[in-house]
Chains A and B, each alone.
Chain A
Amino acid sequence: MPKQPSILTTWGEEKALNALKKMLLIRAFEEKAEELYALGKVHGTMHLSIGQEASAVGASMALKPGDYLLNHHRGHGHCLAWGGDVDKMMAEFLGKETGYCRGRGGSMHIADVEANNLGANGIVGGGVPIAVGVGLSIKLRKTEQVVIVMFGDGAANEGAFHESLNMASIWDLPVIYYCENNQYAMSMPVKRAMNIERISQRACAYGIPGVTVDGNDLFSVYEAVKEAAERARAGDGPTLVESLTYRWRGHSKSDRQAYRTREEVKEWQKKDPIKRYAKRLGLSDKTLAELDQEAKNRIEQAVAFAEASPEPDVNTILEGVYA
């Protein structure tokens, strides 16, 4: 059996460790988000991606500065993986003026337009048709960019998914359709919602490649998205990448999780993407704990920043409705 190449060798220590730090930061952000919610400090709901960190970080790492991101409302991880600023994220989460969206968007609608992060969408699949336009724009402007649109298994059953993949395919647009299959659309299991084994099988209906990867293995995710990006940049059109993963928490805060068993959740927790990756890096438990503490400290700073930030002024409600 050939020996698996070390990521440290392939990527170098800095890049390999950065990936781990990003995942730890996402985990810490979301655990803190949960805590703040429990303390009654959060006005709205939230959708946590704990357990899906490798899927977010591996995909983002495979892309270049200048590329575009569209994602959906389990999106804290995507934004942080894209390089999002923790302070602005936390401030947005707490509805503050200093947040990414001046407190108008909240957890479900965080965007970092300057970084070409075109925002998280609260409508399942709502960003999927928009990806066609971004791809079209890239093609018309003749740049080397690509757009990745991240969505869940639920979005793959929306009608707009069909329109979007078909259009991107016929025009060879540089779009990466990145489906995070976390097994449930709220309470609906994938196996009850579609009569095929893999969502990536749907790619054949559009004449584009479809691949399924282990979404809890950062390196596999990275490789699959990198290949899709290369194909897109070469003008060969879109790819459907299915990332198999699992959300450890409920759909949102109202979820009592009656549709799945504790055992099932525990089985998936054994596949913790962070521990897996740390093991692959050959890190000691002590080093991992230190890095984890570093991430948690950073999140505490973000909370302090957000809590000290001003509330939006009521007289500014109408700002931003029109340009």
Chain B
Amino acid sequence: MRELTYAEAIREALRQSMSADPTVFMIGEDIGVYGGAFGVSAGLLAEFGEERIIDTPISEAGIAGACIGAALTGMRPVGEIQFMDFVTLSMEQLVLQAAKIRFMFGGKAKVPMVLRMPGGSGTGAAAQHSESLENWFVHVPGLKVVMPSTPYDAKGLLRAAIYDDNPVIFVEHKLLYKTKGPVPEEPYMVPLGQSKVVREGRDVTIVATSIMVLRAMQAAEILAKEGVEVEIIDPRTLKPLDMTPIIESVKKTGRALVVHEAVKMGGFGGEVVSLIVESEAFDYLEAPVRRLAGLDAPIPYNRTLEYHTVPQVENIVEEARSLAEGRF
């Protein structure tokens, strides 16, 4: 199958959605001539014009509000927040407006919008351009949260998000933009709320999100050589969360490790661990359920410090190995 980068796959989802549906449009900072800070929308201005590829002033609350108002009145806007960090400036609109409008109005309105934003560290962008804030949104009823790890999922999930009738926070990862993978040319959707077993194994279950899926895959290769077979599950959609494959996997392996880049305290991993131990999988556990996540610190600028602030392949190897060997 043809290969595309993660960024190209997102662009193709946008292009195909906009071509097929006049209600879909994009709005964000520097998405036009500049092509987006990470080049995701490159070329779309020439194809769709200024009316549908809307460059905005530096106004993140305004971008979110523009999406909400358009979505309420029949459009399917796709907003871009240049760095996930800047979504802090849109929070009122997202949390108190987008997420609640339908409920507050007795289910009589809908807000079909997507807000895309790149999160994550690893680019030397330091503390204010490297955040992983996805769990803030997981905590808000009315929002959906999507976090693809492959080009295939990025395209399919974005199309599903665009056609979902709810506000969807779509979290991309800066380090994933250039990664490649097979992507079908035709338009397709990956349904929201379906976890995926991306590698099968009998010894340890690893639940990983976004770029941590790739690192877990690398760790699994190393561990396989040692005879430790890791099963990896990518939730893909953090909310709604499909726990079934995770619970089934833990019943098989009896050992679980949750890996994400965001800070551990209050992070998504805590939720996954709780759901595992609240489920029937509890009876099958051979070891404590573990989490590997970002340190409780802002992302430092220095390359070495930055590297050691979030989980890396070797950390996952060590953590999974100790679980498999019964050292915990």
User: What residues make up the interface of A, taking CB atoms closer than 8 Å to B?
Assistant: 68, 70, 99-105, 109, 111, 113-114, 118-119, 121-123, 126-138, 140-141, 147, 159-160, 163-164, 166-167, 170-171, 319-323
- List of A residues within 8 angstroms of B141 by Cβ: 321
Q: Which residue on A lies nearest to B143, using beta carbons?
A: A322
User: What residues make up the interface of B, taking CB atoms closer than 8 Å to A?
Assistant: 25, 27, 51-52, 54, 56-57, 59, 61-62, 64-75, 77, 92-93, 96-97, 101-110, 112, 141-142, 144, 164-166
- List of B residues within 8 angstroms of A130 by Cβ: 65, 68-69, 72, 93, 97
CA distance A127 to B74 in the complex (A): 17
Given A105-B105, A119-B105, A323-B165: A128 in contact with B73 (beta carbons within 8 A) = no
CA distance A214 to B92 in the complex (A): 32
- List of B residues within 8 angstroms of A101 by Cβ: 104-106, 108
CA distance A126 to B54 in the complex (A): 22
19 sample A-B contacts, Cβ–Cβ < 8 Å, listed by A number: A100-B108, A105-B104, A105-B105, A109-B104, A111-B104, A118-B73, A121-B97, A126-B96, A129-B68, A132-B65, A133-B66, A133-B67, A134-B69, A140-B70, A141-B74, A160-B65, A163-B62, A320-B106, A323-B112
- List of B residues within 8 angstroms of A159 by Cβ: 61
- List of A residues within 8 angstroms of B106 by Cβ: 99-105, 320
CA distance A109 to B101 in the complex (A): 9
Query: Which 10 residue pairs spanning A and B have beta carbons closest together?
Result: A133-B69, A129-B65, A320-B107, A102-B106, A323-B165, A163-B62, A101-B106, A163-B59, A134-B69, A133-B70
Complex contact A119–B65 (CB within 8 A): no
CA distance A113 to B166 in the complex (A): 16
Complex contact A323–B70 (CB within 8 A): no
Q: Which residue on A lies nearest to B99, using beta carbons?
A: A321
Complex contact B107–A163 (CB within 8 A): no
- List of A residues within 8 angstroms of B75 by Cβ: 133, 136-137, 140-141
- A99-B106, A320-B105, A323-B107 are known; give 17 further A-B pairs, CB within 8 A: A111-B105, A118-B72, A126-B96, A129-B66, A130-B69, A132-B62, A133-B66, A133-B75, A136-B69, A136-B70, A160-B61, A163-B61, A164-B62, A166-B62, A320-B102, A322-B142, A323-B112
Complex contact A113–B108 (CB within 8 A): yes
- List of B residues within 8 angstroms of A104 by Cβ: 103-107
Complex contact A137–B57 (CB within 8 A): no
Expressed in whole angstroms, the minimum distance between the Cβ of A245 and any Cβ of chain B is 26
- List of A residues within 8 angstroms of B51 by Cβ: 140
